Structure 1
Amino acid sequence: MRNTLLCTAIAALLPLGLGACSEQKSEAAALEKPASESVANASPLEATALDKIGTLEAQVKEAQSKGLDVTREETTLWFAREFLKFANWDEQNRDAVAYMFGAYAPYEDQKDQLAKELPDFERSKVIEILDASIEELGKVIDGSITRRPVPKIDWENIEVSDNMLLSNGKPAFLYDYFSKSVGRPLTDTAVYNDHLGAIYHGGENLYPVDHDRAINSFLLKEDGTFDETLMKEVTDIDPSNVGFLIYWNMGIPEWVEKKEPEVRLGRSLFTGYDIDNPLVRDVWGKIASHTGELTRGKKVTQLGYILANEPHWFSEKGHWSQNFQEMNAISSYTLDAFRNWLDGKYQGDIKQLNGNWDSDFASFDSVQIDIPIDPAIRGTAKWYDWSRYNMDRAINWFTFLQGELRKGNPEADTSIKIMPDMFTENARSHGIDVEALTDLTSMIGNDAKTRETRALNRDQPEPWEAHYSWFWEEMSMSYDFMESVSPGKIHVNSESHFLSASWWRELDTSVDYVHSVYWLATLQGMDANMAWFWARDPDGSPEDRLEGEMNFFDPALAGSFAGSVNQQPHIANAYTQVMYDLNSFSEEIIALREQRRPIRLFYSETSAINKPKHMSEQWKAYESLFFDGFPVGFATENIINKQDHSQWDVIAVHSTQFVSASELAALQSYLNKGGTVIVDNTESLSMDEYGKPHSKSLEQGKGKLIVLNKKNDVAAMREAALEVAAASLSPIKLREDNGTDHKGSTWRVVQQDDGSYLVSILNIGKHTAKLNLSLDGSDTIAVTDLFTENEMGTQFELAPKGVMLLKVSAG
């Protein structure tokens, strides 16, 4: 039963109380029953599963008697029991399940069949996870493999250090679900427990990251006082919980709208008001400062304050966001602010603007612009000026919010849940400058998505399908960019869309995919993640918001349950298991991801705004360097000006025709200080933001300037960059043969204190890879599989989505 179910998870978090609510479920229904109590009435598949539960339970006891860690098996047993319960609920409530399948249009015609098949599908997957667990624990017991124990994370005493989270003095990767059966109390241990993200420690039930309370516009009343009842939703939080608070920007009080009739103009999907409106700023300034003061020092803010949920202000005609009233018009406040911005940009010279825009405005006060803007004019001065201003006004808004928050809480950590495709995709009318916002906040924030199969809104094959086993472009490229911008910050994916995403849902997602994506994401910087989403109440029914008639502003939530992790026991279990493994090897992961980035790709927002396919071209350059044994880095004007140049060997410029004068000056400054720059051809760096030729071009200075005079030749650029960085590359070499000319195994290597090398290898390719490891200067080497502690040879195979962690030593 391999079905792809469409889920639009763009709705993200909705505040408590939205949607239809059911009566509180019986707590008794959530209680676990011993396997023997239910066998008599079980279906054949359930009976088989219950029998295997008994087998695994017996193994667990045997392993415990030998002092072996069985945390992994305890989790498998918990998920097995829960999903058997869920399967029974789904079987007894087929009409409700069919309704949820039908909530997403592509499955409306199949909803009854899917609802019929689901219970036995879940039972069969329970059997699969039990079989796998029985087999693995058997090998642990007989000594065939040796596993590291799962470390117990002390959720009550998480330490936020400069660039990592610590538990008991060791790096820790926190995990949970973003939306977690909304409506259930946080004291409900059937939902908030170690298997779903909370760790039981010291005889107390310590819950996972707390994130249900939203800071919103309705906290402030018209008379300037605060609604104390609503404020308790923010302040009455268990003080022992590590977590974050989120600014929920959907609504605006009626009293504000009466005073400011334009307040909805320029709204976006998840920001329901004009960010340029002075009353809005007054309201949110007071709310940010006061809530910051009230929550200062609480553990619920250890992972910071999320200043916005998936912000964007797409302002071009024909964009899908227009269906949600996003930027269908702009307010007089926005227009006036744009005019002032133009006045400053053109230094008061209206003739220069008229020349660029082909217009005849008498003054900046008379400038007009149609919003949404026509995408046909991309590449013109008008397009550039609006798109750049749209970004700058968003930067201004978030700078203001953060500043007001820190008036009440000077130590407040912050992030913004940035959608990484604002960087990786070609669109640039959205108002999100990923570099500037990442640099602004004290933590890296995002909700990156990946998928194992083709996006459901596409009929034709996607380019990645030709070479890879899953779509990794958005996550990997954006993560390497954000980590290049802010290498010393905690990285929080507060709504990880790795298990389901806007246009992807796979009911029978593979366990290997889950292992691969979480391993790679963590290697690339992710310190904490909250998966989308856990919406089962303990009796198996969906959370309150998804019961009854589902009528939401954004219909995404209604279709998000069908085919989700809530119907996939193997995926729920795999998610927890891979996080166990990552935490078992947390020190090794940190060492690998702190590896130097010797080659930096130059990124220019100027070219990204002007060119229709700039990011597609940059992706090719990035992809070409992803399989050479080191993390890819980026350089921008700000990175060059702010960061230590010794952190890289070379900056490569690929297909970047448009750069501002200050961007060009930064590259020249780097050359003057002895740096090396590779430019693909003379078209790159040739024009300013308005398409006018620069009066100056790069000169070698004290450094080295290499102009390849080749267009769209990423292979030549890669070869030249590797030659410059050769002295920085590891003596460990990995050769791959997967039957094609396209590499699929990405790897990292770092030397350890004892002289050995730590090597991580992930095959994200679609073919089995035949791999050969070697060490320069050594005829023989010893290789140890750290997952099993078994010795292995230097030649081996790695299946698609396979993950390896090795220790390599000279023989």
Structure 2
Amino acid sequence: MSCKSIGLPCVLSLAVSLAACGEKSSTAAASKTEATSPTVNVSSSNLYETTALKKIKLLENLMASAQQQKLDVTREETLVWFAKEFLNFANWDEQNQDAVAYMFNAYGPFKNDKDKLAAELPDFQRKKVIEILDAGIDELNQVISGEIVRPPVRKVDWQNTVAGDNMFVSNGKPIFLYDYFSKSVGQPLGQPDVYNDHLGAIYHGGENLYPVDHDRAINSFLLNEDGTWNEALMKEVTDISDDNIGFLIYWNMGLPEWIEKQEPEARKGRSLFTGFDIDNPLVRDVWGKIAKHTGELTKDKKVSRMGYILSNEPHYYSEKNGDRKHWSHQFKEMNDISSYTLNNFRTWLDNKYSGDIATLNKNWQTSFFSFDKVEIDIPIDISHRGKPMWYDWNRYHMDRTTNWFTYLQGELRKGNPDAHTSIKIMPNMFSENTRSHGIDVEALTDLTSMIGNDAQTREKRKLNFKKDEEWQSHYGWYWEELSTSYDFMESVSPNKIHFNSESHFLSASWWRDMDPSVEYVHSVYWLATMQGMDANLAWFWARDPDGSPEDRLEGEMNFFDPALAGSFAGSNNQQPHISNAFTQVMYDMNSLSEEIVALREQRRPIRLFYSETSAINKPRHMTEHFKMYEKIFFDGFPVGYATQNIINKQDNSSWDAILVYKTEFVTADELAALQSYLDQGGTVIVDSALSLSKNEYAQPHAKALKASKGKLIELNGKADEAELREVALKAAESGLPDLVLTEDNGTSYKGVNWRVVKQADGSYLANLNNLGKHTAKLKLTLKDGSQVSAKDMLTGKVLDSEFELAPKGVLMLEVSVK
């Protein structure tokens, strides 16, 4: 489930989407195939369905012809499957318009037009089926004629895929796993219309197993008050079929009554998806026992091969703005804190200040007699931001959450020492400015054995925004949250499997579009995978095989998280072109998985210095930082991050320079890490005298960086991001790619993100992804001016050294020197 959202904004109409579908072109396409398609025994009352069925037959005939030539038609098999499914769905929607209108009514932006949308939906889906069939017929004709040569699809071996060192492996090669996180609740695991190559076939003890009001998967109710186990509930975990690989999730929502009776404070300081106080001793004891025992029981099961997700979207927003509450406040999130949390904070402060209460009082402007008398109002008002009390609370708040997950993982590994773990971290915990949420993305990414998240993107602006967002002026879709967070997490843990266990690329709480583009789907999945994603579970598949919504979405939809009720409307469940595109792009990437992994291992020559200290203290630190990140995102290499821990733990030769940008506040330890890098001969670029000038309490540092054995480039603060980029590129010149891509899209903003790696035979692999709003004119050369030629690895077509790439266009190239 997702919580990124609460409220009811503007209204969209499906009429525009239907117009965009092109009724004229669909009718023309129907007449085009009339002569060559066999007669179909179906009522002529529905032209669109008749046309679609004829096109399915035509495509199936082409597939038979292709197979006779031993050509791979896996892509077409999936296309036909989706076409037939959505024709079935369209008929169900047509016969159940009241039920469909009810689904549209559950989503605020569609509420006022629910009846109109429900009436238009069946033919919208039929037209989209025709569109994907036309595209499929055209492509397969090109394959048969030899005009394009596609790499054969590598299917996932759902039974035997294993977790390797830093990737999932299927039949000896890397594989990118795909499925849906929530999947037709009420349908059994293994139901062939729900678990197959088209929709994915990963098993998990999650939402597909349990009724609406039951705390799902591994939960607090497994342990009885007398210390025995609820064996009936435990079987719902241990009896999961061992046919396919999967994962298990810790569902932290509920608490049994016996815990609350023994511990009246057990729910104080709860959050939206963690329904209890993580500092409560009884809660910790119960969950420790549950983690250890379920680890023991499931350690040899296939359902644990993708690991244990320790939490669903943890966050503990603890701020307010005067009388204005944070959106999470209505869900009882951090409305107050327990005595356990307060006492732990007091101990933390005692250690932080080395027992000197006078210094705390000076910093906080208080007069506490001792640390055990310290008080704080939570949620804390943002008027304190930038002051010592704000820093101390938010730093402690992150530390206590990290402590909770360290304990939970430790208990799990007492039962299953080899357990893979991840946490479904919301990447906006890193990319957005707020830091009162208690989530230290670096620490949690470092803690678990897999990188976990549920990144989201969008092709258009959020529906609760009244005007366009800034990115829309330059880019085809919103990639900031995805890219900054993925580059950060991959910088922290470069050798871990990366599991997005709830990808919100197709829809999210505040982003929905009835007719997103297929090109967008291709672009976003290519970028996410190129930035490290090894497995993703899309949100969400909620159609039963007969076309009806899943069990949870029938009848009264009264969910604790209101986002779930509206999730069906305007989702991929009503979009044949998008559902098909998701699987097709995964097929494409898995056909070139070894090449993608080689590109992902490209070095990160420039590192942006990241300080959680500045992020906590500054109101817009991440907004400022993105401007610098954006400037070096389109230069042919992955952006890297450096932190105190990255510098201290990793091989410093993995990069050529660290760029410090608008980072005023750093601790003494952070400053010391940068100095140690200089002492080893590293290069540090500092944008101004203001950066690195103050400690966590806004006090001037007694020491400043010295060049030592390295190179310290200190600028005067007047250089803009473009000038800083030039300084950084020069400092890292020796580590930049030999291949050069020149882009002209008619604007001052670059749009093509690209990566390149040299192969053993002297050729290069290159991935190009046009995130820009405009068509890009591109030219490929080598640094020394040598000319090159390129071949599109997905079509076999040869490109000149100069070519164009449309917005959201993606190319995977093999580049040879002429």
Q: TM-score range by the shorter chain?
A: over 0.9
Aligned to 1:22: none
CA distance in 2, matches of 1:789, 1:241: 34
Percent identity of paired positions between Structure 1 and Structure 2: 69
Instruction: Give the 5 Å matches for 1:144-543.
Output: 144-198=147-201, 211-212=206-207, 214-317=217-320, 318-543=325-550
Distance 1:711 1:461, change over 3 A: farther
In 2: Cα distance, 1:325 partner to 1:161 partner: 40
What CA distance in whole angstroms lies between the structure 1 residues aligned with 2:661 and 2:543? Answer: 48
**TM-score of the aligned structures, taking structure 1 as reference length:** 0.94
**d(CA) in 1 for partners of 2:309 and 2:369?**
43
Say whether the 8 Å CA contact 2:502–2:537 is kept in structure 1: yes
Whether the 8 Å CA contact 1:736–1:771 is kept in 2: the answer is yes
Q: Distance in 1 between matches of 2:248 and 2:785?
A: 53
Worse-matched range after superposition: 50-59 or 159-168:
159-168
Aligned equivalent of 2:557, options 547, 550, 562: 550
- How much has 1:418 moved relative to structure 2? 0.1
Q: 2:135 aligns with which of 132, 150, 154?
A: 132
Counterpart for residue 27 of structure 1:
none
Contact 1:782 1:808 in 2 (8 A): yes
Aligned-partner SS, 1:557: coil
CA deviation after TM superposition for structure 1 residue 697, in Å: 0.4
For residues 555 and 317 of structure 2, the distance between their equivalents in structure 1, rounded to whole angstroms, comes to 33
Distance 1:50 1:654 in 2: 58
Which string of whole-angstrom CA distances, capped at 9 and with x for unpartnered residues, describes residues 232-285 of structure 1? Answer: 011001123211100000101111011111111100000001000000001101
The residue type equivalent to 2:180 in the other structure is: Y
> Offset of 1:210 from its aligned partner?
6.3
Shift of 1:502: 2.2
The one-letter amino acid of 1:692's match is Q
8 Å CA contact 2:779, 2:801 repeated in 1: yes
How far does residue 140 in structure 1 lie from its aligned partner after superposition? 0.1
Determine whether 1:47 maps to 2:58: no
**C-alpha distance in 2 between matches for 1:197 and 1:493:** 15
State the Cα distance separating 1:307 from its structure 2 match: 0.4
Give the superposition deviation at 1:711.
4.6
Contact residue 778 and residue 810 of structure 1 kept, 8 A = no
* CA-to-aligned-CA distance 1:32-53 (integer Å, 9 cap, x gap): xx99776236611100100100
* Higher alpha-carbon deviation: 240-249 or 469-478: 240-249
Aligned-pair CA distance for 1:588? 0.7
Could you tell me which of 674, 677, 680 is aligned with 1:673? 680
State the AA in 1 paired with 2:154: P
Q: Which moved more, 1:528-537 or 1:455-464?
A: 455-464
**Other structure's SS at 1:761 match:** strand
Q: Does 1:82 align with 2:85?
A: yes
In 2, Cα distance between equivalents of 1:238 and 1:606: 46
Structure 1 position 154, deviation (Å): 1.6
Shift of 1:384: 0.4
* Correspondence for 2:67: 64
Identify the residue that residue 104 of structure 2 maps to in structure 1.
Answer: 101
Q: Superposition pairs for residues 649-798 of structure 1, below 5 Å?
A: 649-711=656-718, 713-777=720-784, 779-798=786-805
1-side partners of 2:481 and 2:806: how far apart?
A: 23
Answer whether contact 1:384 1:689 (CA < 8 A) is retained.
yes
1:643 is matched with which residue: 640, 650, 663? Answer: 650
Q: Which stretches in structure 1 are left out of the alignment for 5+ residues?
A: 1-6, 13-33, 199-206
Deviation at 1:786, TM superposition (A): 1.2
Give the Cα separation in 1 of the matches to 2:785 and 2:748: 28
* CA drift at 1:128: 0.5
* Bigger mean CA offset, 786-795 vs 91-100: 786-795
**Matches of 1:233 and 1:611 in 2, distance apart?**
46
Structure 1 counterpart SS, 2:250: strand
1:562 counterpart = 2:565:
no
Aligned to 1:201: none
Instruction: Give the Cα–Cα distance (whole angstroms) in 1 for the partners of residues 514 and 814 of structure 2.
Output: 36
Q: CA deviation at 1:9?
A: 6.0
Aligned equivalents of 1:708 and 1:376: distance in 2? Answer: 32
What's 2:28 paired with?
none
Displacement after TM superposition at 1:209 (Å): 6.1
Q: C-alpha offsets along residues 704-727 of structure 1, whole Å, 9 cap, x if unaligned?
A: 000011257212221111001111
Tell me the SS of whatever aligns to 1:503.
coil
SS of the residue aligned with 2:552? Answer: coil
The one-letter code matched in structure 1 to 2:554 is E
Contact 1:211 1:243 in 2 (8 A): no
Instruction: Check the 8 A contact 1:193/1:208 in 2, yes or no.
Output: no
**What is the deviation of 1:559?**
0.5
Tell me the distance in 1 between the aligned counterparts of 2:805 and 2:42: 40
Distance in 1, Cα, partners of 2:234 & 2:340: 30
CA distance, structure 1, for counterparts of residue 38 and residue 313 of structure 2: 44
CA 11–513 in structure 1, closer or farther in 2 if over 3 Å, else same: same
The residue type paired with residue 438 of structure 1 is T
Deviation readout 1:680-730 (Å, 9 max, x if unpaired): 011000000000000000000100000011257212221111001111112
Alpha-carbon distance in structure 1 between the residues aligned to 2:393 and 2:421: 27
Alpha-carbon displacement from aligned partner over 1:424-443 (angstroms, at most 9, x marks no partner): 00000000000000000000
- Give the letter for the 2:359 counterpart: Q
Structure 1 counterpart SS, 2:159? helix
Query: Does the 8 Å contact 2:249/2:311 carry over to 1?
Result: yes
Please tell me the residue identity of whatever aligns with 1:681.
Answer: S
Contact 1:180 1:535 in 2 (8 A): yes
Alpha-carbon distance, 1:778 to partner: 5.1
Conservation of the 8 A alpha-carbon contact between 1:210 and 1:242 = no
Q: Report if aligned partners of 1:267, 1:273 keep a CA contact under 8 Å in 2.
A: yes
TM-score (norm: length of structure 2) = 0.93
Greater relative contact order, per chain length (Cα 8 Å cut-off, separation 6+): 1
| CA displacement at 1:527 relative to structure 2 | 0.2
Q: Displacement of 1:544 after TM fit?
A: 0.2
User: What amino acid sits opposite 2:55 in the alignment?
Assistant: K
Instruction: Determine the C-alpha separation between the residues in 1 that align with 2:623 and 2:114.
Output: 37
Which one-letter code corresponds to 2:58 in the other structure? T
Which residue of structure 2 lines up, in the alignment, with residue 31 of structure 1? none
How far, CA to CA, are the matches of 1:104 and 1:757 in structure 2?
48
2:581 alignment partner in structure 1: 574
**1:632–1:59: structure 2 CA closer, same or farther, 3 Å change rule?**
same
1:548-604 CA-partner distances (Å, limit 9, x unpaired): 011111111111100000000000000000000000010110010100000000000
Q: Do the aligned residues in 1 keep the contact of 2:268 with 2:337 (CA within 8 Å)?
A: yes
Distance, in Å, in 2 between the alignment partners of 1:712 and 1:162 is 42
Aligned counterpart for 1:607 among listed residues 596, 610, 614: 614
Question: What does 1:22-41 align with in structure 2 at a 5 Å threshold?
Answer: 39-40=42-43
Taking the aligned partners of 2:3 and 2:668, their CA distance within structure 1 comes to: 40
Change (3 A) 1:408 1:539: same
CA-to-aligned-CA distance 1:336-381 (integer Å, 9 cap, x gap): 1111110010010000000000000000111000001101110010
**Residue 10 (structure 1) shift:** 4.6
Counterpart-to-counterpart distance in 2, 1:661 and 1:223: 49
Query: Are residues 428 and 35 of structure 1, via their aligned partners in 2, closer, same or farther at CA, if it must alter by over 3 Å?
Result: farther
CA distance in 2, matches of 1:712, 1:89: 61
> Which amino acid letter does the alignment assign opposite residue 432 of structure 2?
E
